[in-house]
Amino acid sequence: MALKKILILCGVLLSVPANAAPPPAQVDDLVLANHILADQGVFDGFGHVSVRLDADHFLLAQSMAPALVTTKDILVIDIATCAPVDSGGRNTYLERFIHCAIYRRDPKVNAVVHSHAEGLIPFGVTKQPLRPVFHMGGFLGGGVPVFDIRDAGGNATDQLIRDPKLGAALAESLGDHPVVLMRGHGATIVGTTLHQVVFRSVYAVADARLEAEALRLGPVTFLNDAEAKNAAATNDGQIDRAFELWRLAAARNSLTK
């Protein structure tokens, strides 16, 4: 298969041959991301995380509980068709269309998480917006939109993003934000790197928990836009500090030993 050169923003990202094996280090990192998000309580038996492989493909586990993912479970997914290059008889996540649509829409996104984290649900079904309460939630400062599937799929869906149309609608709702809440469903979070999206996923849940607690006590003083932006920039330089701790915790508690 000929290599296709695709210009993305200010750089050139090359497609690899469809039958080429993905880099082992990238596969290992994605397996680790699954385990960390499960160990940190962002995932339970459900949820999925992906990472962009090249201009035309991304990596995603087969349909299974994230804590149980191993390297043999990682699939290469074609962004255009949203189908695995070679499933090997393995099932894919029903909501893989979330990832395909976001990667197609925004070339700056290199990693995507979809979770049903319970702490985020209340902010998607009430008028209370999710906002940064503390500096670790600074990335929430640009506002967190709420996607209502009824607007794109009518009043009788099962809440799942199970086709390209719904995926595109969700991606449009996300826009340039790092987080979009999904009414009665969960949230989708994006990042420029896999480590960043894991970091954001963990701290989005932490911020939601703190905001809910603070609101019970009285009026809340949130971070202003400048504080949130500056905190987010600082935190982006410290992600690996947290990631290493979470890696060790996930390895200690791993169910795939």
Q: Strands (DSSP E) along the chain, which ranges?
A: 5-8, 11-14, 48-52, 57-61, 74-78, 111-115, 146-147, 179-182, 186-191
Distance, CA of 181 to CA of 189 (rounded, Å) = 9
Q: What is the DSSP letter of 55?
A: S
Report yes or no: 14 and 6 within 8 Å, Cβ to Cβ: yes
Q: What is the DSSP letter of 257?
A: -
Structure tokens at 110: 């290199």
Of 29, 32, 61, residue with least CA distance to 48: 61
- Best CA proximity match to 201, nearest among 139, 127, 128: 139
172 counts as catalytic: no
SS3 label, residue 12: strand
Buried b or exposed e, range 185-195, using 16+ CB within 10 angstroms: bbbbbbbeebb
The residues that are catalytic are: 95
